[in-house]
Amino acid sequence: MTTLTLPQWLQPWVRLARGEAPQAQIRLLLLQWAAPIVGILVLLAVWQLGASRINTSLGQFPGPVQVYEQAGNLLAEHRAERERSRAFMLRQEERIAARLAQQPDWEPVRRSYTGAPTFFDQIRTSLVTVLAGFLLASLIAIPLGIVMGLSRVLENALNPVVQLLKPVSPLAWLPLVTLVVAALYTTEDPAFSRSFVVSMVTVMLCSLWPTLINTAVGVKTVSDDLNNVSRVLRLKWLTHVRRIVLPSAIPMMFAGLRVSLGIAWMVLIAAEMLAQNPGLGKFVWDEFQNGSSQSLSRIMVAVLVIGAIGFALDRIMVLIQRRVDWKQD
Amino acid sequence: MTARFIIALCSVLLVSAQAAAQNWPEKDELRFGFIKLTDMAPLAIAYERGYFEDEGLFVTLEAQANWRVLLDGVISGELDGAHMLAGQPLGSTLGFGTQAHVVTAFTMDLNGNAITVSNQVWEAMKPHLDMADGKPQHPIHAGALKPVIEAHNDKGEAFRMGMVFPVSTHNYELRYWLAAAGIHPGYYAPLRGDTSGNIDAEVLLSVTPPPQMPATLEAGTIHGYSVGEPWNQQAVFRGIGVPVITDYDIRNNIAEKVFGVSNEWAERYPNTHMRVVKALIRAGMWLDAENNRNREEAARIISRPNYVGADYEVIANSMTGVFEFEKGDVREAPDFNVFFRHNATYPYYSDAIWYLTQMRRWGQIPEHKPDDWYLDMARKVFKPAVYQAAARALIEEGKASAADFPDMNTESGFRSPEHTTFIDGMVFDAREPNAYLQRFDIGLKQDSGRL
């Protein structure tokens, strides 16, 4: 049966082509494809109709067409900025040559482009920051969660702390993180900019908890049979964790990681907006402050991109989860 | 061998002498902060026209959320320098707010602000205005606002107005305008920890970042505001408020924004500082060249989203020599934005002293100070020596002529008292700040004692 190895979304097409129960396949196809498309079309129609009725002080609320145009503008601006960057580099070489002619013993230093980051640069900054924060959170939450799941004492000790810190909004953490990072992170030539560290730590503080709690719960669900086997075999603690605990905890752990990543992305945008740290959040805030007739459309482009990236990140986590969760196979 | 050695030595000495004469920058990667206002233009122009690059400087310009964040950035060293309110280096050096020694060697512009009220307040003010040819007669005095404020107070509501920062020009201008009509804007009492500035106030003034002014007015949180451009013209375009007076009519041709750096930075990087000032002088000259011929291009540049970002039409409205009050009431305002003429960019001690008198008038300086103190403080913050070095270098390079600048051999640092006109007809002589303060009906004086 080769069809079983095909991705699920392809199966009805293949079966239809083979003539296996065509009516059932068509119903399935309508459900899988037509319904989402209709949903999106209805959304666009409602958006277009609604937008034309909302008049803000910055002009009419942008509909899909204006937003599409602005997306094109943002791309054009990105290309223009790259062009300016190339021109900057050429000018720099000329100036270095001129100064060397005056001062032959000078060692030229080449500087990177000093222009403003474009929308696409901001997307990249946000992605890098969210992944760094999420990674850091996972590195802390997973080991801590395992220890919590294994030890009743530790669990009882840490539980109140976790319950207290878990619901704290990123906006409350941010001023503290900003000041603490400013006080502690004071190298002369830092590898990462301070704003990056602030965003990353804020993301970490807020996205830690689902992974931590799920890991702990996952660890506790290890069946007694397995624990008994481990005891009989007199497995060392580390081997016990690796061979017995981790495999049973992984499905829960990944469910937690998935929630964590979603939170990380939402927190990052808010943090960038408030702290004026580079990224998509800053883009949105800058456009709000600009208050030009195009600002609303540009913010809408950012909103859609933020949504699309959040969705993509979630899908990636689901794929990884399926890969590592061998129980489902 | 020795002859060769001497020749080699000579050439080395020659090269290093040349390098010293060139005054290459000690630091060439710089981050400057600005607030989204049209008077950040000298920074954008120096960047876009390559004046910074001509000085061997690699400058990144970054918009800041508000004046406090910007000042903290300069003090902490995260920013190398910034577009600042003239009162910021003075206020922080004398310790109102964050205490830090901040200096300036370059004034970025003169004037450029206005006071805007909401549509409802404008309608209520209208019956009290003097009309000429069907249009309100300018300048509009705060006397027309007085009955509106009283009506609010009778209903038990506070009349609230926004300004951008406690030591901002906008705060002092708004206070000046109100007080000139006998409306008390309130005192500060920092020794008691009261930095709200609302003691005895008939109008409650509060801080709002410039770009958020129109939104805050629209939300009804404030009834009017004092802010720089384009945020007054924005209110006209968006139909949410009406500018009633420009600061040119309240008090004119005193330093508005300055380019501020920390004193530590200035001492550590003297050549860099001088070169930055050179680039900014050239930008100022370009902005005012040939009767504002370049202003439209400048408005196009700063309307980009990474600079001011407002629509070109809104920015051009005030930058090209006109100003729109009530929708359709466009009036000539040739000196609304001054970037170079009237020796605009020179850091005058007298400008610093005017700000210090206003800080004393409203209690930000809590105690009486002798006249000498005012000049000493101005000298501590305003650094004409750096400006003069930059101007001389530009003259030498043929990029400017001596006639563009004040005569540096005789310059005392004081503008003549006739240079500035005030809405209440007062005369300001910076050599006698206490005598000036003594003449105001509303305001702290030598014998006021502590609040």
The C-alpha of A302 sits at a distance from chain B's nearest C-alpha, in angstroms, of 14
Residue A104 inside a domain? The answer is no
Does B212 touch chain A if contact means CB atoms closer than 8 Å? Answer: yes
Q: Is A291 on the interface with B (CB under 8 A)?
A: yes
Rounded to 10 deg, the angle between the B67-76 and B87-94 helix axes is 60
Provide the pairing of β-strand B330-332 with B322-324. antiparallel
Question: Does the pLDDT at position B295 exceed 90?
Answer: yes
Q: Is residue A260 part of a domain?
A: yes
pLDDT of A75 over the 90 cut: yes
Q: What is the pLDDT of residues A185-240, one digit of tens each?
A: 877 667 788 888 889 999 999 899 999 999 999 988 888 888 888 888 888 888 88
Rounded to the nearest angstrom, the minimum Cα separation between A95 and chain B is 8
Same domain, A193 and A291: yes
Interface check B11 vs A, CB under 8 A: no
Residue B4's pLDDT is what? Answer: 59
Q: Is pLDDT of B170 > 60?
A: yes
A72, pLDDT greater than 60: yes
Q: How many CB atoms lie within 10 A of CB A133?
A: 29
Longest dimension (CA), chain B: 97
A285 to chain B: which residues are within 8 Å by CB? 65
Contact B18 A102 (CB under 8 A): yes
Among chain B residues, the shortest Cα distance to A104 is held by B15
Instruction: Please provide the distance, in angstroms rounded to a whole number, between the alpha carbons at the two ends of chain A.
Output: 16
Strand partners, B83: B259
Nearest residue to B423 via CA among B264, B272, B252 = B252
pLDDT for residue B212 is more than 70: yes
Query: From CA B185, how far away is CA B193, in angstroms rounded?
Result: 18
Q: What is the DSSP string of B133-168?
A: TTEEPSSPPGGGTHHHHHHHHHTT---EEEES-TTS
Give the count of Cβ contacts less than 8 A between chain A and B: 75
Q: Is B303 on the interface with A (CB under 8 A)?
A: yes
Gap between the Cα atoms of A102 and B21, Å rounded: 11
The answer, yes or no, to whether residue A124 has pLDDT greater than 90, is: yes
> Is A84's Cβ below 8 Å from some Cβ in B?
no
- According to the model, what pLDDT value does residue B1 have? 46
C-alpha to C-alpha distance for B196 and A213, rounded to whole angstroms: 45
Q: Is there a single domain that holds both residue A174 and residue A284?
A: yes
A5 pLDDT band, cuts 50/70/90, is low
The SS3 call for residue B34 is: strand
Residue B343 falls in which region: left (phi positive, over 0), alpha (psi -120 to 50) or beta:
left
Contact call for B53 and A91, based on CB within 8 A: yes
pLDDT for the residue numbered B20 = 46
My answer on whether omega of the bond before B139 falls inside 30° of 0, hence cis, is yes
**Residue of B60, B301, B302, B314 to mutate, interface with A, max A Cβ within 10 Å:** B60
Q: Does B309 touch chain A (CB under 8 A)?
A: yes
- ipTM for this prediction: 0.72
In this complex, is the C-beta atom of A159 within 8 Å of any C-beta atom belonging to chain B?
no
Which residues 227-246 of A are in CB contact (within 8 Å) with B? none
Q: How sure is the predictor about B9, in pLDDT bands with cuts at 50, 70 and 90?
A: low
- Smallest CA–CA distance, residue A151 to chain B, in Å, is 45
* Partner-chain residue, chosen from B18, B19, B58, that has the shortest CB–CB distance to A114: B58
Report if residue A171 sits inside a domain.
Answer: yes
Residues A168 and A285 in one domain: yes
What is the pLDDT, as a whole number, of residue A150?
A: 87
**Residues across chain A:** 329
Q: Both A281 and A197 in a single domain?
A: yes
Domain-embedded: residue A78: no
> Residue B227 corresponds to which amino acid?
V
Q: What is the pLDDT of residue A126?
A: 94
Chain B interface disruption, residue of A289, A293, A294, A295, most B CBs within 10 A:
A289
For residues B354-378, give the mean pLDDT.
Answer: 94
Q: What are the Cα distances from residue B400, in Å, to A203, A228, B175, B280, B404? A: 52, 89, 39, 12, 7
How far apart are alpha carbons B160 and B29 in whole angstroms? 43
Tell me the per-residue pLDDT of B308-334, one tens digit each, with 9 for 90 and over: 998 998 899 888 888 999 999 999 998
Place A114 in a pLDDT band, splitting at 50, 70 and 90: confident
Q: How far is CA B211 from CA B104, B164, B361, B383, in A?
A: 25, 10, 28, 30
Q: What is the mean pLDDT of chain A?
A: 86
d(CA B321, CA B335): 7
Determine contact: B28 vs chain A, CB below 8 A.
yes
Is residue A130 situated within a structural domain? yes
Q: Touching check for B308 and chain A: CB below 8 Å?
A: yes
Alpha-carbon span B300 to B293, nearest angstrom: 13
Q: Which of A103, A182, A291 sits opposite B76 (nearest CB)?
A: A182
C-alpha dist (Å) from residue B154 to B145, B147, B157, B158? 14, 10, 7, 9
Write the CA distances from A272 to A122, A196, A202, integer angstroms.
Answer: 10, 9, 10
CB contact under 8 A, A114 and B60: yes
A91 and B CB contact within 8 Å: yes
A chain contacts of residue B215, beta-carbon cutoff 8 Å: 291
Check CB contact under 8 Å for A286 and B24: no
Same domain (yes/no): A142, A241: yes
Closest C-alpha among B347, B340, B358, B339 to residue B412: B347
Is B306 within 8 Å of chain A by CB? yes
Q: Which residues share a beta bridge with B242?
A: B117
**pLDDT tens-digit map of B220-253:** 999 999 999 899 999 998 899 999 999 999 999 9
Same domain, A128 and A32: no
Nearest CA among B166, B268, B162, B150 for reference residue B222: B162
Q: Is the pLDDT reported for residue B407 higher than 80? A: yes
Q: How many CB atoms lie within 10 A of CB B52?
A: 26
Interchain CB contact of A116 with B (< 8 Å): yes
According to DSSP, residue B251 is labeled B
CA distance B235 to chain A (A): 9
How far apart are the two ends of chain B, measured CA to CA in Å? 79
State the nearest Cα–Cα gap between B121 and chain A, in angstroms.
Answer: 18
Does residue A285 lie within any of the structural domains? yes
Say what angle helices B371-381 and B349-361 make with each other, to 10 degrees: 120
Beta bridge partners of B258: B84, B107
According to the model, what pLDDT value does residue B13 have? 47
Q: Are residues A137 and A12 in the same domain?
A: no
Nearest residue to A123 (alpha-carbon basis) of A172, A169, A173, A71: A71
Q: Is the pLDDT of residue A2 over 60?
A: no
Question: What's the whole-model pTM score?
Answer: 0.83
Q: CA-based Rg of chain A, rounded to a whole angstrom?
A: 26
d(CA B350, CA B375): 8
DSSP string, A262-320: HHHHHHHHHHHHHHT-SSHHHHHHHHHHH--TTHHHHHHHHHHHHHHHHHHHHHHHHHH
- Please report whether residue A29 resides in a domain: yes
Chain A nearest C-alpha distance from B405 (Å): 29
Range of the domain at A234: 119-328
Please tell me the total count of domains within chain A: 2
Domains and CATH numbers, chain B: 25-111+254-438 (3.40.190.10), 114-252 (3.40.190.10)
Residue A105 has pLDDT above 80, yes or no: yes
Task: State mean pLDDT over B75-92.
Answer: 94
B273: amino acid identity, one letter: H
**What strands, in cross-sheet order, belong to the sheet with B337-338?**
B58-63, B29-34, B81-85, B255-262, B102-111, B337-338
For residues A34 and A129, state if they share a domain.
Answer: no
Residue at A101 is within a domain: no
Quick one: closest CA in A to B306, which residue?
A116
Q: Is B261 helix (H, G, I), strand (E, B) or coil?
A: strand
CA B70 to CA B40: how far, in whole Å? 13
d(CA B50, CA B39): 19
User: A118 vs chain B: nearest CA distance in angstroms?
Assistant: 9
What per-residue string of b and e applies to A206-233 under the rule 16 or more CB within 10 Å gives b?
bbbbbbbbbbbbbbbebeeeeeeebeee
Choose among B394, B46, B391, B101: nearest CA to B266.
B101
Query: Does the pLDDT value for residue B16 go beyond 80?
Result: no
| Tally: H helices and E strands in chain B | 19, 17
At B3, is the pLDDT very low, low, confident or very high (cuts 50, 70, 90)?
low
Do A125 and A272 share a structural domain?
yes
Q: Residues A189, A272: one domain?
A: yes
Q: Hunting for tokens 């190339």 — which residue is that?
A: A86
Provide φ and ψ at B114, rounded to 5°: -155, 170
Task: Band the pLDDT of A246: cuts 50, 70, 90.
Answer: confident
CATH of the domain at A287: 1.10.3720.10
Residue B48 has pLDDT above 60, yes or no: yes
| Residues of chain A above pLDDT 70, percent | 96
pLDDT at A10: 79
The secondary structure of A41-76 as a DSSP string is HHHHHHHHHHHTT-EETTEEPP-HHHHHHHHHHHHH
Residue B11, pLDDT > 60, answer no
Nearest CA-CA partner of B426 in B412, B436, B411, B416: B436
Ranges A34-38, A167-171, B61-65, B403-407: which has the least confidence: A167-171
